[in-house]
Amino acid sequence: MKNQRINLFLLLVALLSMTACESESASTAEAAERPPNIIIIFADDLGYGDLGTYGNPTIRTPHLDQMAEEGLKFFQFYSGASVCTPSRAALLTGRLPIRSGMVSDRIRVLFPFSYKGLPAEEITLAEALKERGYHTGIVGKWHLGHLPPYLPLQHGFDTFYGLPYSNDMIPTPGAKWGPPRKYPPLPLYQDTTVLETNPDQRLLTKQYTDKALAFIDAHQEEPFFLYMPHSFPHVPLFASPDFEGKSSRGLYGDVVEELDWSVGQILNALKEKGLDQNTLVVFTSDNGPWLTEKQEGGTAGLLHQGKGSTFEGGMREPTIAWWPGRIAPGITQSLGTTMDIYATAVTLAGGALPGDRNYDGTDLSPVFDNPKAEVRDEVIYYLGAQVFAYRKGPWKMHLKTLNPYIGEQPVAHDPPLLYQLEHDPSERFNLAAEHPEVLEELRVALQRHLDGVKPVPSLLEDIDQSYFE
């Protein structure tokens, strides 16, 4: 009898083990068939030299440093523009903002006095991924239109928590720059409802992080796209009590260290939920540091200039792609842009770019598989509606230059300036006289691009003039 009980027990254990194995196999197969989750973490005005992993000596960014150790770090990755609104339009449409009207030579970004926003005809990344069965959410700063027709839920997002524009667009008596600050109180949105006005900005990064974690938790059983455009380190700077005064770099360092903490929370949550093996996380910035803010602005490291400029410091961004099990740890010198994130995400989701419009991004998956792969050889540097510079391979040609935010006018160069960026990333040595043949090659290549661009009227210039009265 005793032996019979033992045999029965062993048989039961074997059956349970087989059931568990079958369940695990089914779960593994289901995960393999499910397209990857996509998370984009987008800092605001973060400089190329502001992270420890990119050489900053005083700002501690252990989570981003670890993300770089576990993922792929890009050294030559670019934003679609050097200021907020067009940069975000480029990221979310996969197209240069000249194609969507999200540029102007007179008004660089959208303001609370703007009447327009991202056109409904544009297919955002959220809309493209919803077509593939993704749940979509944005937590953070939108800045592509604050009026009802232009808010995130009108552009493919299921949920929105955050600010409609930059955190400095608030009523400010005696503002040191810009138009009179007759702005309305800063609204904090949940979907289409204003939760409160003039929120305590010290708490924003923590609130964004809590909302992002809740979104991941709520949608872990289905493919999801989370877009997390932080409000910082754009000025004015605010850090929570847990971080304020803790950095040796001052308040700017406090803010960046809290952003680093936030990234760590997201990555740890993915690991704890077993989602890390099926989630692509990309961390980058909308443009370079706001240098005229001095100690409240960041640094571009060895790169020249910053926000508002088409020098490298204005548009080359710190960028890390993380996907354990798919992206091997490493570094890459391959060129990439934020517009490539759009094409990459759509491809990974099993979709294809619509054929009814021109796209300026390309799939980065080959670089994920081989850091030496090249998927593009050119970068076009627009400032407003004009091309100021053009890069092909290692060579960069400046047609015009501008030192931004100090009242200077653009300077045209004839012949254009020419830099070999892989030898001279700081753009110190103009080689135009030594290489006229390279300039000619770049001119011809740029003209091919321009021939394929049909500019549309600027939507940034449709404004309420009463703000200036």
Tell which residue, 277, 361, 286, has the closest CA to residue 322: 277
Q: CA–CA distance from 261 to each of 46, 58, 268, 389 (Å)?
A: 15, 16, 10, 36
Asked if residues 197 and 187 have their Cβ atoms less than 8 Å apart, the reply is yes
Helix or strand run (H / E) with residue 136: strand 135-141
Kindly report the CA angle at 389 between 386 and 392, in degrees rounded to 5?
130
Cβ distance 383 to 96 under 8 Å? no
Q: Which of 21, 63, 135, 143 is catalytic?
A: 143
In angstroms, the first-to-last Cα distance of the chain is 98
**Residue 286: which of 90, 93, 73, 123 has the closest Cα?**
90
* CA–CA gap between residue 50 and residue 42 (Å, rounded): 14
Helix (H) or strand (E) holding 416: strand 411-420
Residue 69's φ and ψ, nearest 5 degrees, are: -65, -35
CA-wise closest residue to 387 among 453, 457, 303 = 453
Q: Which amino acid is at 195?
A: L
Does residue 143 carry a catalytic annotation? yes
Residue 21 annotated in active site: no
Determine which one of 84, 146, 155, 398 is catalytic: 84
What are the distances in angstroms from CA 105 to CA 96, 98, 162, 387, 454?
15, 11, 28, 11, 16
List all residues 6 or more positions away from 255 whose beta carbon is below 8 Å from its beta carbon.
205, 232, 233, 237, 238, 239, 243
For 383, the 3-state DSSP assignment is: strand
Active site residues per annotation:
84, 143
